[in-house]
Amino acid sequence: MDDFENFRLSMRQMLRGMGIGHIEACANGNAAIQSCTYEQFDIVLCDYNLGAGKNGQHILEELRHRKLLRRTALFIMVTAETSKEMVMGAREYQPDGYLTKPINQASLSQRLGALLQQRAVLLPINREMDLDNLPKAISLCTQMLPQQPRYRTWILKTLSDLYYQVGDYSHARKICEDVLQSRELSWARLGLGRILIAEQRYAEAIDALHTLIEKQPDMVEAYDHLARAQSLAGKQGTAQRTLEQAATLSPNAILRQKQLAMLAGSNQDMDTACEAWRRTVQLGHYSIHDHPDHYLGLGRSLCDLSEDDSSDEGRGRADEALRALALVRKRFPDSAGVPEVSRLIEARVHQGQKRTSEASAIINSFLESEEGNAPDTELELARSLFAMDRRDEAWQRLMALSQRCEGNEAVQSDIEALLDEPVSFRQKLQARRLTRQGIQAFENRDLDNAATSFSEALKLVPAHPALNLNLIQVRLRQIDQGADRQPLIRECRQCLAQLESLPERHKQYRRFQSLKRKVEGLS
Amino acid sequence: MTDADQPDQGTKPSPDFAMVMASAVHDMKNSLGMLLHSLDELRDELSPDGAQSPRFNTLRYEAERVHSDLVQLLGLYRLDQSNLSAHVEEHFVPDYLEAQLARHVPLLDGRGISYEITADPISGFFDADLLSGVLNDTLNNAIRYTDKRIRMGSREENGYLVIQVADDGKGYPASMLSTSPGTSAPIDFDSGSTRLGLYFADAVARLHQEGERTGFVRLFNGGPLGGGVFEIHLP
């Protein structure tokens, strides 16, 4: 595959000269993928830079993802580039080899010869892996390891990865540790980090990956794993910063941008989330990983940012959101739930720009024709109803959804989050800041200020379970210290009343029960 | 080299300008890659007389020289930005050396130079891309200054992997042998010769570290073919 006809011709000549019989040449990515769909090639030589449209990395991704390329076949990336972004991006999808232009007959036949020889030797292992027969592949690796010193690294890497895939983490780890005993090699350190994450030894994983990044600050996969370890260890903020570093080093990896967008979104860092969604959508254009969720994510984050913002910037963001939502319907017309969810977000965008009639029109026409909504659609509808101040309808729908989706943890926790804070993200942010101040004051035994902060926060999110319980706790402490009981007890009762319908599975439920008993004991 | 910790005092080019330079160099390098490719194709189309002509060989040699200079410039730029680190992996040395030499086969044949590889069948640990930059330049140099023969070799010595490029030419001038590579300025404007290649080789060698040991470069005359010898020692 090369977009230059000259190059295709001379490549064909050189390959003929090597005695290769069946050769097919393509000028662009789509033709190449098409041709791999109908024929199984042994060797794919693909130029990285194919002009407009798909690049070599997109092709590699798509061939591997759609399993159009067997493991036993060779994918060789031809490149004139040493540009960092490209090398970083491509490294994650691992071609079997690189060829750097300029290429002549001698260098092509040397390189292909060496790769074909390697393929022949490792064929039995790769064949078992193609058949998903991993235990067999493992035993072949162990057999070949002492016999093939030339391919030692390949076999060790593959063996460790196979152990990892079958869930035998201790053997996988042992290989990496043994290699690291004699020499600091980045693949082994990276592998070790990945295995420690799987073993849920997050602190050690974070250590290993920090060591690696210190030595090799441009190794971008290390940041991805580090972010995952940090996130699993509950350090969401740190994880986001790690991913931001990785995205700066290598901005063209779509899955990384998506990861960053989701993490920043859950950290309420809407600016970062929005920018990352924007890039995810952009990068999806030629990628097999393109997905409606990216457009919806962009729409939601722009909707959050533009809410109640009538400045030029706010209007611009609202317009961009509407464009993204229209685009997703055009690109994925048959994807389940996409037309509905995108319309519901649209309604919220209009509402945020005080275009109430547009918003109501969308919602009402949706309600007229709805039938058997998927849970995600129902959640989106509730969000929009809350935004339009149709709280009772939203509440009823969520209750019904909760009953319908008994046992679906993901949906239940989404419902919970929405009920806890059914407000715009700006108000959420403000409530969280006040909550932090309150906790700080409480820890410093400054009970008056703690109570003030929690009460302020409750004005924004009156039904928030943790906040109500925090305020009760402060009041109880004040009563202990001899404050005037009656007004404080009254306030505690009001807080408890807010939580009357708290479901048993809510994570604050037990705390609610115990504080409720204490308040009742006082009266 | 600019010191990354030192604030810009206005005497050095601003970072933006450095970036413009780097991307221009990148572009030139790619163009030269195309040029070299066309030259090799052209050689195949020419009559044997034309393909062996000294002028054609000079054209090929000079283009390759500029190309490898640019590759090294980019490497040094990245080193200066401190985002160049050695990606050390294990490689089977004979295969690797063969691949390096293969690139120069058209010019070697064009100049009627015989070449051989005497590599012990061992694996070594190094950054293949960085070392390619070094060996390309060294080989191109050797092709220019040798008489009839070039030999690439590798061996293990005191726990270091040693890669050697030897020729049967007149050898390195005394001025190059007397100074150690890393310590002097890379460019000697008086003599008009750039020592970029050597400077780069030394930088790459020193990026390879293992425990207390660090890579280094040696130049000397004599050796197996009686000409110049370039050696890079990697821990």
Residue ranges covered by each domain of chain A? 1-101, 291-420, 425-522
Distance CA A436, CA A458 (A): 13
Q: CB–CB of B89 and A185 under 8 A? A: yes
- State both tokens at B205: 């060698």
User: Rounded to a whole number, what is the distance in Å from the CA of B90 to chain A's nearest CA?
Assistant: 6
Distance from CA of B92 to the nearest CA of A (A): 6
Cβ <8 Å between A102 and B33 = yes
**Pairwise CA distance, residues A45 & A57, whole Å:** 12
Q: What is the CATH number of the domain that holds B99?
A: 3.30.565.10
B75 in a domain, yes or no?
yes
Range of the domain at B110: 15-234
Residues contacting B155, CB < 8 A, separation 6+: B120, B162, B164
Query: Any idea what DSSP says for residue A45?
Result: E
Domain-located, residue B207? yes
Q: Beta partners for A75?
A: A44
Report yes or no: A29 and A3 within 8 Å, Cβ to Cβ. Answer: no
Residue A172: predicted pLDDT:
96
In degrees, to the nearest 5, what angle opens at C-alpha A328 toward C-alphas A308 and A291?
Answer: 110
**CATH code for the part of the protein at A1-101:** 3.40.50.2300
Q: Does domain A425-522 have CATH number 3.40.640.10?
A: no
Decide yes or no: CATH 2.10.25 for domain A291-420. Answer: no
Model confidence at A427: pLDDT above 50? yes
Residue B10 domain-assigned (yes or no):
no
Residue of B65, B103, B213 to mutate for A, most A C-beta atoms under 10 A: B103
Residue A6 has pLDDT above 90, yes or no: no
- Which SS3 state, helix, strand or coil, does residue B3 take? coil
C-alpha distances (whole Å) from A211 to each of A78, A188, A217, B213 are: 32, 12, 10, 19
d(Cα B85, Cα B98) in Å, to the nearest integer?
25
**In this complex, is the C-beta atom of A215 within 8 Å of any C-beta atom belonging to chain B?**
yes
Q: How far is CA A86 from the centre of its chain?
A: 21
Do the domains at A291-420 and A425-522 have one common CATH topology?
A: yes
What does the pLDDT average to over A313-340? Answer: 94
- Confirm or reject contact between B94 and chain A (CB < 8 A): no
Q: In total, how many domains does chain B have?
A: 1
A103 touches chain B (CB under 8 A): yes
Is B4 a member of any domain? Answer: no
**The two structure tokens encoding residue A512:** 């609610």
Q: How far apart are CA A350 and CA A27, in angstroms?
A: 45
Q: Which amino acid is at A281?
A: V
Q: Which of residues 58-97 of A touch B (CB under 8 A)?
A: 80-84
Is it the case that residue B7 has pLDDT exceeding 50?
A: no
Convert the pLDDT of each residue in B154-181 to its tens digit.
999 999 999 999 999 888 888 777 655 5
Spatial separation of the C-alpha atoms in residues B27 and B70, rounded to whole Å: 10
Q: 3-state class of A221 per DSSP?
A: helix
Neighbour-count burial of A378, counting CB atoms closer than 10 A to its CB (0-12 exposed, 13-18 middle, 19+ buried): buried
Looking at the domain assignment, is residue B41 inside a domain? Answer: yes
B214: its two tokens:
């660090």
- pLDDT class for B82, splitting at 50, 70, 90? low
CA A185 and chain centroid, separation: 28
In a domain, B6, yes or no: no
Q: Indicate the pTM of the whole model.
A: 0.81
Instruction: Enumerate residues 6+ apart whose C-beta is below 8 A from B203.
Output: B75, B76, B79, B182
Whether B1 is in a domain gets the answer no
How far does CA A480 lie from the centroid of its chain? 47
CA distance A371 to B163: 73
Q: Which two tokens stand for residue B210?
A: 């293992």
The ipTM, to two decimals, is 0.74
Domain for residue B109, yes or no? yes
CB B2 within 8 A of CB B12: yes
pLDDT digits (tens, 9 = 90+) for A46-85: 988 887 778 888 888 888 888 888 878 899 988 875 544 4
